[in-house]
Copies of this chain bind each other. A is one copy, B any other.
Amino acid sequence: MKAHTKILVLHLKERYGFRNLTEEVQRAVDESGVKEGMVLVNPMHITASVFINDDESGLHRDFLRWLEELAPHMPGLAYDHHRTGEDNADAHLKRQIMGREVVVAITAGRLHLGTWEQIFYGEFDGQRDKRVLIKVMGM
């Protein structure tokens, strides 16, 4: 059995946005030497997501508009969380809809993804350094 750990650092200039991580996750799998197994990818932050969906900019705009409808950014005291001085409760909620993590199969040394499956980092409270953990496990 083999295990490999890698941490990516991202810094989005926007408050909200998406980055395609697929190539970097494949690189971590390559480094691990794992041919059969699984890889876990998750942000180490609670206002961000790692998810799998389409690499299509129109859809990404749809995601952000939709998330804003379901969990609007409201910097005042409409959210109890803001009594702590924070203004990002919406980011904690948006991340629950998009999910925290993905687990992807590794087969013959490659991420076993469907044709259109791409791994994304979803940022909902950016403009600062954020870390993404990649954990590869297998044989």
Chain B: CB-nearest residue to A99: B99
A18-B99 Cα distance, complex, nearest whole Å: 18
Which of A8-16, A20-28, A61-69 lies at the interface with chain B? Answer: A61-69
Interface residues on A, range: 35 or more
Q: Are A80 and B101 in contact (CB under 8 A)?
A: no
A34-B84 Cα distance, complex, nearest whole Å: 37
What is the oligomeric copy number? Answer: 3
Residues of B within 8 A of A127 (CB): none
**Of the residues B1, B58, B81, contact of A58 by C-beta under 8 Å:** B81
CB distance from A14 to the nearest CB of B (A): 17
Known: A45-B116, A66-B93, A92-B54. A138 touches B3 (CB 8 A): yes
**A51, A113, A137 — most chain B CB neighbours (10 Å):** A137
CB distance from A2 to the nearest CB of B (A): 8
- What sequence of 0s and 1s flags, for each residue 39-70 of chain A, a beta carbon within 8 Å of any chain B beta carbon? 01011111000011110111101110010001
Residues of B within 8 A of A45 (CB): 114, 116-117
7 further A-B pairs in the complex, CB-CB below 8 A; given A3-B139, A46-B52, A51-B96 = A5-B105, A38-B135, A38-B137, A46-B53, A46-B116, A56-B84, A59-B81
Interface CB pairs A-B, < 8 A, 20: A1-B138, A36-B137, A38-B38, A40-B103, A42-B105, A44-B115, A44-B117, A46-B54, A46-B117, A53-B95, A58-B82, A58-B84, A62-B80, A62-B92, A63-B92, A96-B97, A96-B99, A103-B103, A114-B133, A137-B138
